[in-house]
Structure 1
């Protein structure tokens, strides 16, 4: 969180410089944030913990698996892949990491058959014969059809 605050301060500093105003100094930022100078310096020198290193490695693997799946895999499948590689990790943790990375699985809507194929070749005749400019009004009419999903199934609407 502290890192995010300092990044925000750096962005504001750049905006001030563009406007021709004076730079922010570290002491002023630390005072605004309520952080001691020694705390800031120790945070800056601090090495990442084992937990942070593991988290970074797992996030990289999650991104690799996600890209290999063409952005289709979600937390359950990525967790399964990580476990096959020997990683001990919960699905909830993978989901949280994916949320932090801003990635999520693509939902593929299953294909639904909406029409019944019929052989209309014997019944229908082309009487328009590509003459799209009729000689008088109301000589040619056309229609379109759509379907609406209801709890009983599809209802077809034409107009």
Structure 2
């Protein structure tokens, strides 16, 4: 009998998972969003509290390191109390519903109780907010008044950080049980100058000027595999901070467009893309023969990365040189991240940028409507598919 392989997660990934729990999220919610067993996450939280959280093949934490961790936690608390008013300056002048939407959007970053205190709203009222926001404002036919509709639209606009234009706002309203016409939503948003963030171009980060061997283009722009974990794609992007660049590597399952692995780092190295792939493999455990597609960047063409692919039983595939359309899905993901969340933001530290990126990735996987998926979010789309497969097999 073949011995099961134990999952190995980087220390950074463990720390991010623990931070979400300490920020007020339930262990069950964080575990589901990150694809972890609840007991595993519980163990990480307990270990972090004792100063014993470790990455793979690391030594025990000394008393001095534990004290440093305690001081870092205290500093983090002070920064949190400083940063909440800084990031919510526009929300402070808005009504209570928009404040609740801000809290909902940042609950992965800061504790709900702390945000409620800073914004001057009650935690009890926030807990009741989702039910109130979804309820029609008028009895009988379920039609909402103009002012109520505007409040709902503003709440969605704040929750999604201006990611949605009127078509997605209308679909989100319908998903929340609010019956309203498309034209009415479009006109209300137009009359009140509520619009999605505008797009801008970003430069590429691919370094294909190297002498390393490259893989054939096995994907050949077939972006719609028939089931999960048959084809993955990956790429790297960058985020500017006052401390320097922060680089993000992702792995996307083309079937559901879900980001199944990611890594963040100060340098754009082969270790960054290997960490993202390792996270994806341990979360999903795909069968051998999966196609992994990337550009011809030196990180993906490196011997270490190709060895990792081979070890996981995956087949490499690479875009043609200088052809971004061969990896269009990943390019689109980065465009959405930068347009919907990062555009116009200035980060003093890499830590701040990491918080925003991870928050958006969780939002993208669990909540963001995707036109290719029939306006479902990636995780719901895959869950529906698996239920259908189980029903057909029964």
Q: Same fold (TM over 0.5)?
A: no
Scaled by the length of structure 1, the TM-score of the pair is 0.37
Scaled by the length of structure 2, the TM-score of the pair is 0.16
Between structure 1 and structure 2, the one with the greater Rg is: 1
| Larger RCO of the pair (alpha carbons < 8 Å, separation 6+) | 2
